[in-house]
Each structure stands twice: as structure tokens, then as C-alpha cells.
Amino acid sequence: MQIIVSYFIEAIKKFKWSFCKSFLMTLLVSLANLATIIYFRLILNHISTSLTEIIKDLIILCLLLVSTSFINVLWSISLDKFGGEYIAYLVNQCQTSINSTKFENIDSSKIIHTLYNDILNIFRVVGNFIPSLLCSAILIILLLILSTTIDIFISLFLLLSIIVGIMISYISRKIIVESSTSTNEKLKEYHNTLHEYTDKVEYIKTNNLLSYFSNITQTRIANFISSSVKEDKKIYFFSTFTQNYNSLMQFILSILLSLPVYQNSLPNLAFYIILFNFLMSQGQRMELLFQQINRNKICFTNISEIRNLPVQHGSILISDITSIELRNIHFSYPGESKNILNHFSLQLTKGDFALVTGANGIGKTTLFRILLNQYSPTSGEVLINNERLESYNISSYYDCIAYISQHEPTLNTSITKYLEEISHSSVKADTLNQIISKLEMSNLHHIDEGKLSGGEKKKVLLSKLMALEDKVSLILIDEVDSELDSDTKKIYYSLLNHIASKQDKIILVIQHNDTSQLNFNKTISF
């Protein structure tokens, strides 16, 4: 429960104004409900035989109920806004954390589940369940204070009844859930047996194993029926007991208000019975809300794990990569014992235009992943400008790199927007026109990744290279020339040779096809 409270406090601190508005609406909802009950008591105290007075009272009561409903709507809106703002903040926090850690720390399936399912549950807890719990608590306190102005003894009786009622409701609900779980487990065993039977029916027939499987099936369905009967007894008993508790308390309340000390107490009797039912409903609602909140603890734990992913980079800003050194690198992917890289070392400086060659699966792309700080070596050092890679601010480091992969996704947007987002700056019209003209992309006004051909996608990636050409000092290219037509290949080779001729960058290219068209001055063999 502590983790949930800490998140709720964080939400209040981050979005004070939204919380204040929702809290004021919570108070207003509580007061509106209180006003309705107070007016109902006033009606009971001056019951009139006048039709006009009765109609007037009913109209006012209806107006109060309508107003209360309207206030409830406004309250729900304010809660959704408060919860929505906080959820948007949490998602941003998670994305920042994911972006700041390495791939080896990322469980994609869990992250998707957390950011889709768990985040919705957190939204309900922070934006609805806790405020609703608070509203019910405020309302119960106000109503109990109101009842003390009428009779302190009856008020104490109501308080005790509510406490006991909540305890009974909690125990009952807990037993019902446990009983249902036990029965479902037996049903699951029977279900699994049926699956096994249907999957192996041919095997069972040819080997005369029907009696064996029939015995197992009969045993498990008998276990299910036995468990169901046993647990249903508990469910029916506690469900009935909970329902009868309210009737019993109302009966005791009626007896108390029939005592001589409460002469002419019919209005009070009616009021207290209505008040008791309302308080009990609010108390049971609180208990249910508390259980719902408690059941969602795992969601807060999951979101905390993502927010607290290890940050594996430093604070040193970098604007230019002048040298790269890998010292005695060993590397294996998480969960695998076999090393992809063993005793691997490499030195590169500005002006190096290197071909990375070797068989598939031998470590070429892994080298890129290490240089991109996606994975950490098992042992060894990666030095950039003679500083450990982990020492650099990762965002400034990536600003120095153009990475183009054959499997790289693109943004579904206009070509202009794509290049601006990729380069983190506006693209001049003449530059854009030059890129489009050179790559013959005039038909690609809008990039739709799902509709791009292989060649079109590669042209988009080449446009990225052209847009980043003057902004980066390290270029990593992973088999971009596949699926390019001959004309586009010429453009690609010419562009890459032109960039390399400036001698102001480090360029690494993974390529299996014809390499004679590129003016490499270094080869990295695996």
C-alpha cells in the first residue's frame, strides 16, 4: 500500500492545481449528498397534509438530486483530467527511462503490458479509486457528525454497525474470492485433461488408452464438482449473512427508536433507517475500493521498475567524435553463453572509411550495437575520444551519429517532416529539393512505411544520410545497398565516396555486395 500512497502524493505534488480542483469537487459532491439527506430529514420533520407543500418538497428534492448528479459529472471530469495528466507524465517518465538504458535491460513484452494495461489501472486508482475512497470517507464523517446533532447514542450505534459491516463485507468478499479461485483451479485441471485428450485422440484410439484417460477425466470432473459444492456453500452462506446483517441492524435500530425515550420518533426512525442504508452502502463501497486499490499494487511495482531502469551513461557532452577504440572486447547476448566477440580490438580515427566484412551472425551488427551503446560488452572497454563511452551524455552522443540500417523503421509523415525530425532542425527548401531531385523522390510526398517498396524505403534512408551529412562525425551503415536499383546505387556510392573524401568523419559500412565502387581505406574482418 505504501507504494500506491507514494504515487498518489507524487501526483498531488506534480499537478497541484488539477488536484485542488478535483478535491474541491470531491468536497462539493459530499456536501451535495449531505444537503439532500438534510432536506429529506426536514421533510420528515414537517410532514404536511397539504398537497401544495408536498409537491413543493418533492420538486426541491428532485432539484437537489439533479444538481447532485450534475456535480457528480463535473467531479468525474475533474478526476479524469487529474488522473490523465499524471498518467501522461508517467508514460513520459517511462519513455525517458527506456531511452536512457541499454537494450539488454529492456523486456519489450513487459514494457508493452505495463504501458498499456498497468497504466490504465494506475489511471483508475489515482484518478478514480482513491478520490472516490476519500469522498466516501468525507461523506461518512459528515453524516455521522450530522447524526450526533440528533442523538449521540444512535450515532454511536450507527458507527459501530458500519465498522462491523465493513469487516463482515471484507471477510465475506475475501472468502468468496478464495473459494472461486479454488474451484477455478479444479476446473482448469479438468479443462487441461480435455485438451490433452482431444490433442492425443488418435494416439489414444490406436493404443487402446481410452480407459486410462477416461479415469483421469472422471477423477478431475469429480474433484471439480466436489470443490464447487463445498465452496458454493461458503459463498451462499457469507453472501446471505452479509445481506441479512443489514436487515438485522435495521431491526435493532427500529427497536431502539421504539423505546419510550424516543416518543413520536417515526420521522427519526425513517431518517435513521435511510441514513443507515446510505452509510452502509458508502462503507461497503470504501471496502470494495480499498480492495481494488490493493489488487493493483503490482501495476505500481511494474511502472516503478521501468522508471528505475539503470541509467548507463554519464554527463559529459560531446559534439565531435575524433577517435574510437575498442580494447579486448568480449560480448555475449543476455541469456546466451556463447560469445559473439572474443578478444576483439579496434582503433579508428577521423578519415577512416572502413568496410566491415565477415559471415552472417559473426558479430558485424553486434559491433554497431556496442558503438551505439545499445549493449555493454561482457568485458573490455569502449573508448570515444579516449573517454569511456558510458561517461558521455547519451543524447549528445547520438547527435554525432548517423546510423542507417536495412531494417530501420521510418516515420509515417511527410518527407519534409521526416527529415526535420531526424536532423532535429528545419530543412531549407533548396536542400529538400536537392535531396528529392537527386534521389528521384518527387512521388514520395508522404511516407507510409507499410506501403513503401524495398527500394523506396532505401531511398528514404539515403535521404536521411544526405540530411545528416554535415551534422555528424560518425556514420554507421548496415547493408543499405540491397534492393537499390542500379541508378540509385550509383547515387549511393557517389554520395558515400564524396562524404568519405572530406576526411572529417569515421565511416563504417557493412556490405556483402560489390564493394569495388566504394573507396575504403580500411577493412575490419570478422
* Residue with more model confidence, 265 or 289: 289
DSSP for 234-301, written as a single string: HHHHHHHHHHHHHHHHHHHHHHHHTSGGGTT-HHHHHHHHHHHHHHHHHHHHHHHHHHHHHHTHHHHH
How far is 207 from 514, CA to CA, in rounded Å?
60
Q: What is the pLDDT of residue 408?
A: 72
Beta-bridge mates of residue 346: 326
The pLDDT mean for the chain works out to: 77
pLDDT, one tens digit per residue, over 411-461 is 777 777 877 777 777 777 777 777 777 777 766 667 766 677 777 777 788
Q: 350 falls in which pLDDT band (50, 70, 90)?
A: very high
Is the confidence at residue 323, as pLDDT, over 90?
yes
Q: What is the pLDDT of residue 324?
A: 92
Q: What is the pLDDT of residue 358?
A: 80
pLDDT, one tens digit per residue, over 463-480 is 888 888 888 899 998 887
Can you identify the CATH homologous superfamily of domain 323-525? P-loop containing nucleotide triphosphate hydrolases (3.40.50.300)
Sheet holding 341-349, edge to edge: 341-349, 323-331, 379-384, 387-388
Long-range contacts of 5-9 (CB under 8 A, 24+ apart): 7/122, 7/126, 7/300, 8/126, 8/130
- Rounded (5°) CA angle 34-38-41: 145
pLDDT, one tens digit per residue, over 384-397 is 999 988 888 888 88
Q: Is the pTM of this model over 0.85?
A: no
pLDDT, one tens digit per residue, over 85-142 is 888 888 888 887 777 776 666 666 777 777 778 888 888 888 878 888 888 888 888 8
Q: 506 falls in which pLDDT band (50, 70, 90)?
A: very high
Q: What is the pLDDT of residue 115?
A: 78
Bridge-based pairing of strands 323-331 and 353-357 is unpaired
User: What residues does each domain of the chain span?
Assistant: 2-307, 323-525
Q: What is the pLDDT of residue 235?
A: 62
* Residue with more model confidence, 40 or 186: 40
Question: What fold characterizes domain 2-307?
Answer: ABC transporter transmembrane region fold (1.20.1560)
CA dist 245 to 98, 153, 258, 259, 313, Å? Answer: 52, 20, 20, 22, 61
Give the residue-averaged pLDDT of 165-186: 69
Residue type, 198: T
Burial label, 84 (beta-carbon count in 10 A; 0-12, 13-18, 19+) = middle
Q: 227 falls in which pLDDT band (50, 70, 90)?
A: low
